[in-house]
Amino acid sequence: MAALEARALTKLYHGRRGTVRALDQVDLDIPKGELFAFLGRNGAGKTTFIKVAATLLLPTSGEVRLFGEDVVAHPEAVRPLIALVPQEGRPFFHMTPREHVYEYLRVRGASAESAGARTSEVITAMGLTPFENEPSYRLSGGVQQRTLVAMILATEAPFLFLDEPTLGMDPFGRRQVWEVIRRAVRKGSTVLLTTHYLDEAEQLAQELAVIDSGKVLYRGAPEALKSTVKREVRLQFSGGFTAKELAEYGQVIQDRNRLVLLTMRSRVRELTDRALERGGEVTVGPVTLEEAFLELVGRGIEEEQ
Amino acid sequence: MSVRQQAYAALRICYFNGIMPLWRSPLLIGAVFLTPFSFLFFLYVIAPRALFPFGVVGGVLFTALFTGNGMLNDAAYLRLERQLQQVFVASPVRPLAFLIGMALSELAFALPAMVLFLGILLWVHPFSALGLAALVGVVLLTWLMACTLGFFVSTLFQQLREIWPIGTLIFSSLSVLPPVFYPATAIPAPYQWVAFLAPSTFAAQLADRVVGLGGGITTSVPAFNGPLFDLLGLAALTLLLASAATYFSRWRES
Ligand SMILES: Nc1ncnc2c1ncn2[C@@H]1O[C@H](COP(=O)(O)OP(=O)(O)OP(=O)(O)O)[C@@H](O)[C@H]1O
Ligand SMILES: [Mg+2]
C-alpha cells in the first residue's frame, strides 16, 4: 500500500476572472517511507495538492487516500498521522523556538518527558541552540522559518508535508534542515516537500514529480529526469559567443550575462578553445536537474503558445 | 487522542496563546480594561447614582462580550497572517479543542478586568454569594456566545484588513447600544422589546436580575418578563452560535 494515493484529483477555483484548474485529474502514488519532491513553476498547483492531501481544502472531484484512509470522507482518521509546514507560515511572535517545539508536541499528545527529549534533539540538530530562548519576533526570517520546520519535524508524524520548508534559509541552515528531514525518513516518515531549489530536490528526493498547470508532467527519480535531456554536457560561457552563434551546437539558455549551452561531448573541445581564444570564460559540467526541468516545463510552455 | 488529551490540548493552547503573552506584556490587561472603564467613568459623572451599579454590571459584560472581538481577530490572524491554524488542523487536535483553547485564551485576557469590575460591583452594591455564582454563570455563557460568534464570523473572510472594522462594528453594537450599561427600563416602554434583537440584552438583564438590580424589559406577554426567558434566550443563542461555529468553521476551505 502506498502512503499517499491520489486518483483523478481535480481542484477548480472559481474567481472573478473565471475558473482556475489548479489540479487536473492528478493520479499519483507516493510509496511509504519515501522522500518525494514536487517541482513546478509558481502557480503550478503544488500547494493546492498539499492542502487537499493535508485535509485543509476540499477537492472538486477525485480521491486522495493517506495510509488507506479517505482524506475527504474521514479527515479525523488522517489528521493524527500528519504534520504540515505551510507555505509562508510564521511562528507565534511571543514564543521562543524551544517553546514552539515543546508546546506543539504537548498539544499533539506527547508526554512531558518525550516532548522534552525530542525538543532538545531537534533544537540542536537544526542549529537553533543560539536562539532557543529568544522570542520569535526578535529572530531573523530564516530562523523563524527554521523554528516552524523544527516544530513540525519534531512530531515524527508518519506523513510530513513540507511546503517550501527551506524558503529564505542560508546554505548552512538548509543543510541542517536536510539532515533532519533525512533523519525523519530514516525513522520511517514519508515526506512530501515542495521546493524551487533544484539542487535541493536533487540532493534530497528519492523521487519527484514535475507539476505544471495542475498536471503531472513527469514522475520518477531525479537521475532519470536528467537523462531525459538529450544532451550530454553543460557549457557555461561568460563572453566569447553570442546566443545566435551557439544555437547550431545545441540548446541555448540565456541566463542574464551568461549563456548556457547543452550539447554533446564531441563538441566541447572546439567550443572551449574558441571561447578562450576570443577572451571569454567557459566552464564545463554535467547537465543538472535545472536544465532538465527548464527543458521539460519549457516544452509545455511552448505548446501552450 | 482521547477526550482527556483533547481537553488537555485546549488548556495547553490557552497557556501558550493566552497566558504566556499576557505574562510577557502585562500592558495588554490595561488595553482590555480601558474602554469599559471609560464608559463607567462617564456614567459615574453624568448619571444618577442609582444607575451606577447597572454600569458596573455593564463593565463586566462588556469585557465578556469583547472576548468575541479578540477571538474574531486572533482566529483570523492565526489563520491568514501566520498560517498557524493550518498547523493545528493538520494534527490530532480536534477543531473543538482548538476552538475552546482559543476561547480560553480570550478569557485569560479578560479575566483581570472582569475581576476588577466584580470587585467594584461588590463594593457599591453588595449581594449574596448565590447571586455571585449566578453572575459568573451568566458571564461564562456570554463569553461562550461572544467567542463562538467571533470565530464564526472570522471564517467568512479571507483578508485580514476586511476583518478589522467588522469586529468593532459587531461587538460595539452588541455592548454599547443595547441595555448593557443601563437598565432597559430607561428605554421608552413601547420600544423596549426592540432591545431583544441584541443577544447581549438577554445576558445583561439576567445579570442585573441575579445581583438583585432588577429593571428588565416589560412586554405585554408575561412569559417574556422574567429571568427564565432571559436565561433560555441566552442559552439558545449560545448553542446556536456554537453549532454554527463548529459547523461552518471551515476547517476545510472549499
Ligand atoms: N484561494 C484561491 N482562489 C483562487 N485561486 C487560487 C487560490 N489558491 C490558489 N489559486 C490558484 O491556483 C493555482 C495553483 O496555485 P498553488 O498555490 O497551488 O500553486 P503552487 O504550485 O503552490 O505555486 P508556488 O510555487 O507559487 O507556491 C494558481 O493559478 C493560483 O492562482
Ligand atoms: Mg505553493
Instruction: Evaluate whether residue B252 is within a structural domain.
Output: no
**One domain for residues A155 and A173:** yes
Q: Could you give the number of structural domains in chain B?
A: 1
Q: In what order do the strands lie in the sheet with A69-70?
A: A18-30, A4-15, A61-66, A69-70
Do A47 and A182 fall into the same domain? yes
CB atoms closer than 10 angstroms to residue A28? 20
Asked if the structure places residue B31 within a domain, the reply is yes
Ligand closest to Cα of A26 equals: 1
| Chain A interface, best mutation among B5, B87, B249, by max A CB count within 10 A | B87
- Number of domains making up chain A: 2
Task: Tell whether A25 and A169 lie within a shared domain.
Answer: yes
Q: How far apart are CA A13 and CA B125, in angstroms?
A: 58
Domain that holds residue B26: 3-247
Which ipTM was obtained for this model? 0.91
Contact A107 B82 (CB under 8 A): no
Please report, for residues A139, A141, B78, B81, B84, the alpha-carbon distance to residue A93 in angstroms, rounded to integers and kept in the order given: 9, 12, 11, 11, 11
Distance between CA atoms of residues A147 and A141, nearest Å: 10
Nearest residue CA, atom 31 of ligand 1? Answer: A43
State the Cα–Cα distance between residues B53 and A304, nearest whole angstrom: 73
Burial B221-252 (b: 16+ CB within 10 A, else e): eeebeebebbbebbeebbeebbebbbeebbbb
Q: Which residues in chain B land under pLDDT 70?
A: 248-252, 254
Whether residue B11 is contained in a domain is answered as yes
Residue B253 lies in a domain: no
User: Is the residue at A73 inside a domain?
Assistant: yes
In a domain, A292, yes or no: no
Q: What is the pLDDT along chain A (305 residues), one digit of tens a residue?
A: 799 999 999 999 998 888 999 999 999 999 999 999 999 999 999 999 999 999 999 999 999 999 999 999 999 999 999 999 999 999 999 999 999 999 999 999 999 999 999 999 999 999 999 999 999 999 999 999 999 999 999 999 999 999 999 999 999 999 999 999 999 999 999 999 999 999 999 989 999 999 999 999 999 998 888 888 778 889 999 888 888 888 888 888 877 778 888 889 888 999 999 989 998 899 998 888 888 888 788 766 666 65
Say yes or no: A171 and A272 in one domain: no
Residue B51 lies inside a defined structural domain of this protein: yes
- Which among A82, A95, A148 has CB closest to B90? A82
Q: What's the gap in Å between A22 CA and the centre of ligand 1? A: 6
Residues A177, A42, single domain; the answer is yes
Considering only the beta carbons, identify the residue of B81, B83, B92 that sits closest to A79: B92
Task: Using the mean position of ligand 2's atoms as its centre, give its distance from the Cα of residue A47 in Å.
Answer: 4
Q: Which residues of A touch B83 (CB under 8 A)?
A: 86-90
Statement to judge: residues A57 and A156 lie in one domain:
yes
Examine the fold and report which residue of A183, A211, A226 is the final residue of a domain before the chain moves on: A226
Residue A294 lies in a domain: no
Q: Is the CB of A13 under 6 A from ligand 1?
A: yes
CA of A43 to the centre of ligand 2 (A): 7
Range of the domain at A253: 233-286
Q: How far is A98 from chain B (nearest CA, A)?
A: 12
The three three-digit cell numbers of residue B223, written as one number:
412569559
Asked whether the beta carbons of A243 and A254 are under 8 A apart, the reply is yes
pLDDT tens digit string along B107-120? 999 999 999 999 99
Report the CATH number at residue A265. 3.30.70
Q: How far is A293 from chain B (nearest CA, A)?
A: 30
| Residues from chain A contacting residue B8 (CB–CB below 8 Å) | 106
Task: Indicate whether A164 and A204 sit together in one domain.
Answer: yes
Count of A-B CB contacts under 8 Å: 95
